[in-house]
Structure 1
Amino acid sequence: MTITDKDRDILARTLWGEARGESLVGQIAVAWTIRNRVNDGKTNSWWGEGYAGVCQKPYQFSCWNRNDPNYPYLSGAKQIPFRELAQAQIAADQVIAGKVPDPTGGATHYYATSIKAPAWVKGAKETSRLGHHVFFKDVP
């Protein structure tokens, strides 16, 4: 698969929107969750195609919802602080290039511990907890 500059940018912005309060390792974990969806093998699947397609598919990552407070930053209407975006870009680049192993154990889903566990966790396999996120695979 060809990775475009748009894919890299959208992935980094998604990491900022979903995990800006996390360490680099925490952002790498979220990036791997996205990569696991990209590489799921379901061409034209529900996930979307490529990094940009997966990140911006409606209802997958709330930071891209137009009513989310992060959206003005992700859309470019407001500027993301340079250092915060730079860390997200590092995480995105490392995961896209396969320079770091998957710390999530193949997760395709996660939720932030700041919210109540979503209904979809029932029957899913928890794979890891990193920072303020809990990761899952085999989500029914």
Structure 2
Amino acid sequence: MTVTDNDRDILARTLWGEARGESLAGQIAVAWTIRNRVDDGKAKSWWGEGYAGVCQKPYQFSCWNKSDPNYAFLIGIKQISFRELAQARIAADQVIDGKVPDPTDGATHYYATSIKAPPWAAKAKPTLKLGGHLFFKDVP
């Protein structure tokens, strides 16, 4: 699969929107969750196609919802801190380029521990707790 500069940019912006308060390791884990969706056989029919398609699929990553306060930053109306976006770009590039292993053991879902557990988490297999996120695979 060809990865475009737009894919890299959208993944980095998604990491900023979803995990900017996390360490580089935490952002890498979120990026791997997205990559696992990109690489999943269901990619074209369910998750979206490519990194940009997966990240921007409606209602999959809340930072891309037009009602989310992060949305204005993601589309460039407001400016993201250079340092924060640089870290997200490093995480995105390392995952896309396969320079770091998947710490999530194949997770396709996660949620922030600061929110109530979503209903799907009750029947999913937890794979990792890192920073403020819990990661899961085999989500029904």
Same fold (TM over 0.5): yes
State the percentage of identical aligned residues: 82
| Residues 26, 130 of structure 2: 8 Å contact kept | yes
Equivalent position amino acid for 1:85 in 2? L
1:52-76 alpha-carbon deviations (Å, 9 max, x no partner) = 0000000100000000000000011
Match of 1:36 in 2: 36
For 1:125, the equivalent position in structure 2 comes to: 125
SS at match of 1:126: strand
Report if aligned partners of 2:37, 2:43 keep a CA contact under 8 Å in 1. no
Matched, 1:63 2:73: no
Q: Give the SS at the match of 1:110.
A: strand
Helix, strand or coil: the match of 1:77?
Answer: coil
TM-score, structure 1 normalization: 0.99
Partner Cα distance (1:65, 1:42) in 2: 22
1:119 is displaced (CA, Å) by 0.5
Name structure 2 gaps, 5 residues minimum.
Answer: none
Judge conservation of contact 2:19–2:26 (CA < 8 Å) in 1.
Answer: yes
Say what the alpha-carbon RMSD is for the aligned residues. 0.6
Q: Distance in 2 between matches of 1:7 and 1:72?
A: 19
**1:96 matched to which residue of 2?**
96
Deviation at 1:43, TM superposition (A): 4.4
Pairing of 1:73-88 with structure 2 (within 5 A): 73-88=73-88
Aligned to 1:109: 109
Q: Please list every run of 5 or more consecutive structure 1 residues that lacks an aligned counterpart in the other structure.
A: none
What corresponds to 1:135 in structure 2? 135
Against the structure 1 CA distance between its residues 109 and 72, is the aligned structure 2 distance closer, same or farther, given a 3 Å change threshold? same
Question: Could you state the TM-score of these two structures normalised by the residue count of structure 2?
Answer: 0.99
Amino acid at match of 1:117: A
Residue aligned with 2:22, SS: coil
Partner of 1:4: 4
In the alignment, the residues of structure 1 paired with residue 16 and residue 43 of structure 2 have an alpha-carbon distance, to the nearest angstrom, of 26
Runs of 4+ in 1 over 4 A off after TM superposition: none
Deviation at 1:42, TM superposition (A): 2.1
